[in-house]
Amino acid sequence: MQQQEQILVVMVIYLSLLIFWGIYQGRKVKSNQDYAIAGRKLPGWVAALSERATGESSWALLGLPGAAYAMGLTEIWTAVGCVVGIVVAWALISWRLRDEAEKYNITTYTDFLAGKHAETARWIRASASATIVFFFFFYVGAQFLGGGKTLFTMFGIKPEIGMLLTAAIIVPYTIYGGFRSVVYTDVIQAIVMIVALVVGPIVGLMYLSNHPETFASGIGEALEKAGPSYMSLVNCTSGFAAGVIIVGGFSWFFGYLGGQPQLAMRFMAISDMRQARKARNVGIVWTLVAYIGALMIGWIGLAIFGPTGLEDQEYVMPAVMLRIFPPVIASILITGAIAAMISTADSLLILSATEFSENILRPLLNKFRLADSAALLQSRMVTAMLAVVALALAYVIEAELIFSLVSYVWAGIGGTFSVVVLLTLMWPKYHGRAVVLTIVSGLLFTILWISTGMEQYITARLLTFFVALLVAIVSTHLIPKNKAKVRPDVADVTSH
């Protein structure tokens, strides 16, 4: 049986089991809170593995190894920025968000902000939820596009068919089981990912030492033979250019500080403080091991194939696995990588659906007091509707436009909401009016900065954070807090 056919068979089996697992977990969903945030009863290890799988799926298995293969040691700065951001998030932010979620009985990411700044709850819900839903429409669409591209690259399936298959894999269990199904399928993905990122480098180094016909017999030799830029931490630059490389790589740090809603929701869903400590430990250890493994796979690929041996740098992980493992084992590890990337869409989809249902649709229908079963049905219908819209966007809008909008997410949403979350948690003077101004200014700055081409000089991932921070501090001091009495229907976060 050819390698491609083996991978396809393994992938069908793996994804079938994943779908059944997601549906099985969905049977335990009995209320809207179960659907939106798993009843805030997640064990720590489950929350940690889900958060890591959601945050790092295609990046840790395809993007980072590919960048390490193409850039050599320079890519260390990106890894350092991500790792430090993740460690800080788990060590300093995760348990605080968990406590706030319990205090305000929250169901969605925006509930937390509205609960903390109840005097401006209506405006916060409108601005934050609309922003998240709009950009995550395109984010989900990009995942469908990515799934279609991956299936085309691996199996020659037409991208249009591949996008439908991608949606068919993740949409049914997401609609049925919501956040709970998404989280527990993520756990499987995280386990397969970490196995690939641990076993792959170990076997890869053994392979290099026993196969002298490769480009190099070790990582150090490969980097040296590939050229001076591969051995340089700053791509053979100096002065300002070197600083731009270092800062650009490290700038990924700022998006992890509570500003990615799909990751912060995992923090909020942890059951108690004891489980939060377990989650912190699992999340940090997983991250350190995974990033070291991802870099090493990229450099091992360089040693095997040389700097010009692969047409697509992001194919280095599958190429290495197929070279160093027997076909069946390689197929399992590659399938885990593909499935993890495809299933990222489920986390984004359920987040968008719950934000839309709870913070946009629900206020409009506030006069109708829905029973739990009716509210749960509404959430499932909204999830289905958003999935259809996102898939339609992937078909009718140019891929370049979708991916350009997705590029705003890490800077515009990540940088902006990181400021909002950090100050909400740690600065009592920060108030609701300043929150709204921070959100609007951060997003507008990101869109203007990227669309005018300034991203090529200094990344918006860095500047958006500090622009939003400046606006937050100035507006907090110059604009008085809204003292108006809050209407119960505006800030009833505890009723969710």
For the chain, give the percent of residues with pLDDT over 70.
Answer: 94
pLDDT at 496: 41
Question: Is the pLDDT score of 489 beyond 50?
Answer: no
- 489 vs 378, which has greater pLDDT? 378
For the chain, give the percent of residues with pLDDT over 90.
Answer: 57
pLDDT at 135: 84
CA distances from 255 to 171, 261, 345, 349 (A): 27, 10, 19, 20
Q: Using CB atoms within 10 A of its CB, is residue 100 exposed (0-12), middle (13-18) or buried (19+)? A: buried
Task: For residues 382 and 370, give the distance between their C-alpha atoms in angstroms, rounded to a whole number.
Answer: 15
State pLDDT tens for residues 441-463.
999 999 899 888 898 888 898 99
State pLDDT tens for residues 254-302.
989 999 999 999 999 999 999 999 999 999 999 999 999 999 999 999 9
pLDDT at 411: 85
State pLDDT tens for residues 316-345.
998 999 899 988 888 888 877 777 776 678
Task: For residues 105 and 108, give the distance between their C-alpha atoms in angstroms, rounded to a whole number.
Answer: 10
pTM, two decimals, is: 0.91
- Of 5, 62, 2, whose CA–CA distance to 301 is shortest? 62
* Average pLDDT of the segment spanning 467-483: 92
- 340 vs 358, which has greater pLDDT? 358
pLDDT at 225: 94
State pLDDT tens for residues 226-248.
999 999 999 899 888 899 899 98
pLDDT grade, residue 495 (50/70/90)?
A: very low
pLDDT at 410: 82
Question: Is the pLDDT score of 488 beyond 60?
Answer: no
Question: Is the pLDDT score of 11 beyond 70?
Answer: yes
Average pLDDT, the chain: 88
**Architecture of the domain defined by 3-399:** Up-down Bundle (1.20)
Question: Is the pLDDT score of 44 beyond 90?
Answer: yes
pLDDT at 216: 93
CB 177 within 8 A of CB 29: yes
Residue 429, both tokens: 């003077």
State pLDDT tens for residues 15-27.
899 899 999 999 9
Question: Is the pLDDT score of 365 beyond 80?
Answer: no
Beta bridge partners of 42: 270
pLDDT grade, residue 394 (50/70/90)?
A: confident
- 466 vs 405, which has greater pLDDT? 466
For 161-249, strand residue ranges (E) read none
pLDDT grade, residue 376 (50/70/90)?
A: confident
pLDDT grade, residue 493 (50/70/90)?
A: very low
Is residue 481 left, alpha or beta, with left meaning phi > 0 and alpha meaning psi from -120 to 50?
beta
Question: Is the pLDDT score of 491 beyond 50?
Answer: no
Question: Is the pLDDT score of 98 beyond 90?
Answer: yes
pLDDT grade, residue 381 (50/70/90)?
A: very high
* Average pLDDT of the segment spanning 299-324: 91
pLDDT at 95: 95
pLDDT grade, residue 364 (50/70/90)?
A: confident
CA distances from 269 to 24, 106, 161, 493 (A): 19, 9, 35, 16
